[in-house]
Amino acid sequence: MCGIIGYNGTAQATPFLLDGLKKLEYRGYDSAGIAVSDTDGIKTEKRKGKIDALASAVRKRNDMTGTIGIGHTRWATHGAATNSNAHPHKSGKFTIVHNGIIENHKELKEKYLRLCRFDSDTDTETVAHLINRHYSGNCLEAIAQTARLLEGSFALAILCEDEPNTIFCAKKSSPLLIGVGDEASVASDISAISRKSDSLYRMDDGEIAAIHKNKVEFYDFELNEKAKSASPFTAGNNTSEKGEYEHFMLKEIFEQPEAVRKTVEAYIGADKAELLQQIKKPTGIYIVACGSAYHAGLIGRICIEKLTKTPTSVETASEFRYSDPLIDENTSVIIISQSGETADSLAALRLAKSKGAKTIAIVNVPESSIALESDFAIYTKAGAEIAVATTKAYSAQLAALYALSIHFARIWQTADSKLLNTLEQSLEQLHENIREALCLEKQMKEIAQHMQNTQHTYFIGRGIGFAVAAEASLKLKEISYIHSEAYAAGELKHGTISLIEKGTKVFAVCTPDTPEAKIQSNIDEVAARGANVIAFTSSPNIKANTTVISTTASHPLFSASTQVIPFQLLAYYTAKLRGCDIDKPRNLAKSVTVE
Ligand code: AGP
């Protein structure tokens, strides 16, 4: 997703902007640019491709000077990744960067900008021209008039030649944070905020900010001044370094035991009950999320239904938000999101709240939009996750869902306390089981050797095994670019088995929650048609072309947490052999803040 950075201080802005863009590049992008303002006006440099290409272009210039500036990493939505479509965009005295989608940009162009010359295919340039069109000497008025016309999502950072000491910002739906202290900075996420900040403002929807050298003013879109409180800010030690690992993804795979241990520790045990609050037993529960978080939700549904006997469904946020779901004040909606900023998940949360549901967030980023807007937030303790392909946050989400299921069962008295105590004990040692599962690294490296030229793979499983198959398939395809499908093992024979031919690779995920004989017959079905089946199981009874004996949790309900580990490693080593950009896969973003 796009990233915004801005600096207003006493040092030269360019180095801060370029460093800030590097910190935001994990969000995914295909072009980047900066603009700096000095006594000789606003100068812009922007480039398709990586930030290094931008930095070398900047180094060749001697005019990129000034102590105030803005920068942007663009993840193309309207218009291809080209130099002209890269941000910043300029119109008259204004230079702007934007994160989001202006849904009515065509109508606005038609109505207000028919005589304007456009240099790009972007919706953002429409915003720049609108601000300039409304400008008659007052920047705030021009920005407010424009903001009131825009539909969709936007986080804007704006420079004006007539106001060389101020960065203007406007926000609706897309995140924007402002750090103040010895210097001021603005960014799409906290990782790029200046370490010299001592307080942090989180802009809310419908707000405009004027960031001066040593103070920030806030307004609504009607230009009513807003008093806004800041939270204390201490720059976290930048633990997001790779250390001895070649990629963040591998580092984060091996950080999973600790991520799970900390999450379990935070929410398991009678003394932690108050953290989870008393939530009235609902008539139904929806779990809503995207991607891997959705796959975690599939496991969450199994646990919650088994322990609380409450009908629970799992929906992708992009479907849920337009399905007019049957929810009311007797429904609980659990939103799972690593970033806490995923547009579809945030919209789903807002829809659920508008219908009176009790909303619970499971998020990894404190103070993220989803965390702040939910009735109740559970924080996974995975720490900053940099690789686009999630691993430790996914595992921490599972741990949080396990803890939540046990908690609900306890307060709603829907399961035997002996069972719940056993589950808690199993959960408290889960991180050790995961650590053991990581010992499959060598075997996964070997299997990856045979994946290099694979074009199609299938992952099959039943029950928890199917939910793991879905996540395993996503991991493989999103970083190695090998086409992969996950299928409920019993469903394959209803069509897709027609694709199985000699040598087709099929991974069978066998978890102890479902009868061995059933998954064995599914393995035999595809093997009979020539498939090369690699079964992952903790049972010695399962037979396939290749059988990987993997450890499992001490309780079947938690087996997903150990079963997923070898597949993360397989995806990693396959992608490595194929020379893929593992931490920043093509077309992907760490946080999809547009719909
Ligand atoms: C998973 O590896 C991907 N990064 C993606 O599917 C991700 O899980 C999804 O976009 C949801 O992101 P969130 O958890 O930040 O909401």
Token representation of residue 146: 């424009």
The average pLDDT across 457-477 equals 98
Ligand 1 centroid to 591 CA: how many Å? 7
Q: Which residue, among 311, 339, 307, 388, has the nearest Cα to 558 in the 3D structure?
A: 307
The average pLDDT across 119-123 equals 91
Atom of ligand 1 nearest to the CA of 290: 11
Torsion of CA 289, 295, 300, 302, to 10 degrees: 130
Query: Whose C-alpha lies nearest to ligand 1, atom 16?
Result: 337
Among the residue ranges 62-71, 294-303, 544-553, the one predicted with the least confidence is 544-553
Q: List the domains of the chain with CATH numbers.
A: 3-232 (3.60.20.10), 238-428 (3.40.50.10490), 438-581 (3.40.50.10490)
What is the residue whose two structure tokens read 């946050």?
393
How far is C-alpha 552 from the geometric centre of its chain's CA atoms?
A: 28
Query: Whose C-alpha lies nearest to ligand 1, atom 2?
Result: 389
Residues 6+ positions from 82 with CB-CB distance below 8 Å: 31, 48, 120
- Label residue 382 by pLDDT band (50, 70, 90): very high
Q: Which residue, among 127, 75, 79, has the nearest Cα to 104 in the 3D structure?
A: 127
The average pLDDT across 190-204 equals 88
49-55 long-range contacts, CB within 8 A, separation 24+ = 49/81, 50/25, 51/18, 51/21, 51/22, 51/25, 54/18, 54/21, 55/18
pLDDT for residue 52 is more than 80:
yes
Pocket-testing residue among 314, 592, 593, ligand 1, by greatest number of atoms within 8 A of Cβ: 592
pLDDT for residue 496 is more than 60:
yes
What is the residue whose two structure tokens read 């060598």?
442
Any catalytic annotation for residue 590?
yes
List, edge to edge, every strand of the sheet that includes 358-363: 312-316, 284-289, 331-337, 358-363, 376-379
Q: Model confidence over 174-189: pLDDT tens digits? A: 889 999 988 999 999 8
Query: Whose C-alpha lies nearest to ligand 1, atom 7?
Result: 291
Query: Whose C-alpha lies nearest to ligand 1, atom 10?
Result: 291
Among the residue ranges 195-199, 356-360, 559-563, 579-583, the one predicted with the least confidence is 195-199
- What is the reported pLDDT for 378? 94
- What is the reported pLDDT for 78? 74
pLDDT for residue 261 is more than 90:
yes
Any catalytic annotation for residue 303?
no
- What is the reported pLDDT for 593? 76
Query: Whose C-alpha lies nearest to ligand 1, atom 3?
Result: 389
pLDDT for residue 238 is more than 70:
no
In three-state secondary structure terms, 171 is strand
pLDDT for residue 243 is more than 90:
no
Atom of ligand 1 nearest to the CA of 393: 14
Ligand 1 centroid to 312 CA: how many Å? 21
The average pLDDT across 360-382 equals 92
The average pLDDT across 350-377 equals 93
Number of Cβ within a 10 Å radius of residue 165: 11
CA angle 3-473-432, nearest 5°?
90
Query: Whose C-alpha lies nearest to ligand 1, atom 6?
Result: 291
pLDDT for residue 506 is more than 50:
yes
- What is the reported pLDDT for 427? 96
- What is the reported pLDDT for 236? 60
Ligand 1 centroid to 27 CA: how many Å? 11
Average pLDDT, the chain: 93
Task: Give the DSSP per-residue string, 254-302.
Answer: HTHHHHHHHHHHHH-SGGGHHHH---PPPSEEEEEE-HHHHHHHHHHHH
The average pLDDT across 547-555 equals 86
Q: Which residue, among 150, 181, 172, 189, has the nearest Cα to 23 in the 3D structure?
A: 189
Portion of the chain with pLDDT greater than 90, in percent: 80
Atom of ligand 1 nearest to the CA of 291: 6
Ligand 1 centroid to 386 CA: how many Å? 12
Ligand 1 centroid to 295 CA: how many Å? 10
Residues 75, 104: Cα–Cα separation, whole Å: 19
Among the residue ranges 239-243, 377-381, 531-535, the one predicted with the least confidence is 239-243
Torsion of CA 188, 191, 195, 200, to 10 degrees: 50
Given the residues 46, 109, 477, 590, select the one marked as catalytic. Answer: 590
What is the residue whose two structure tokens read 């469903």?
491
Give the H/E segment covering residue 54: helix 51-59
List, edge to edge, every strand of the sheet that includes 152-160: 89-91, 94-102, 152-160, 167-172, 207-211, 216-220, 225-226
Pocket-testing residue among 390, 474, 595, ligand 1, by greatest number of atoms within 8 A of Cβ: 390
Check residues 484 and 232 and name the one with the higher pLDDT: 484
Atom of ligand 1 nearest to the CA of 339: 15
What is the residue whose two structure tokens read 């194929």?
578
pTM: 0.74
Given the residues 2, 160, 169, 510, select the one marked as catalytic. Answer: 2
Atom of ligand 1 nearest to the CA of 591: 15
- Label residue 29 by pLDDT band (50, 70, 90): confident
Task: Give the DSSP per-residue string, 208-235.
Answer: EEEE-SS-EEEEETT--EE----EE--P
Residues with CB under 6 A from ligand 1: 290-293, 337-339, 342, 345, 388-390, 478, 591-592
Portion of the chain with pLDDT greater than 70, in percent: 98
Pocket-testing residue among 253, 287, 338, 595, ligand 1, by greatest number of atoms within 8 A of Cβ: 338
Ligand 1 centroid to 290 CA: how many Å? 6
Residues 287, 2: Cα–Cα separation, whole Å: 27
Query: Whose C-alpha lies nearest to ligand 1, atom 5?
Result: 291
Q: Which residue, among 90, 129, 92, has the nearest Cα to 111 in the 3D structure?
A: 129
Taking the CA atoms of the chain, what radius of gyration do you get in angstroms?
25
Ligand 1 centroid to 494 CA: how many Å? 30
Pocket-testing residue among 342, 365, 392, 473, ligand 1, by greatest number of atoms within 8 A of Cβ: 342
- Label residue 166 by pLDDT band (50, 70, 90): very high
Query: Helix/strand/coil (H, E, C) string of 305-343?
Result: HHHHCCCEEEEEHHHHCCCCCCCCCCEEEEEEECCCCCH
Atom of ligand 1 nearest to the CA of 388: 4
Ligand 1 centroid to 567 CA: how many Å? 17
- Label residue 237 by pLDDT band (50, 70, 90): very low
Query: Whose C-alpha lies nearest to ligand 1, atom 9?
Result: 291
- Give the chain's end-to-end CA distance (angstroms, integer): 11
Among the residue ranges 7-21, 68-82, 129-143, 268-282, the one predicted with the least confidence is 268-282
CA angle 565-241-246, nearest 5°?
55
- For residue 152, what are the β-bridge partners? 102
Residues 342, 327: Cα–Cα separation, whole Å: 21
Q: Model confidence over 424-450: pLDDT tens digits? A: 999 999 999 999 999 999 999 999 999
- What is the reported pLDDT for 240? 57
Ligand 1 centroid to 21 CA: how many Å? 21
pLDDT for residue 94 is more than 50:
yes
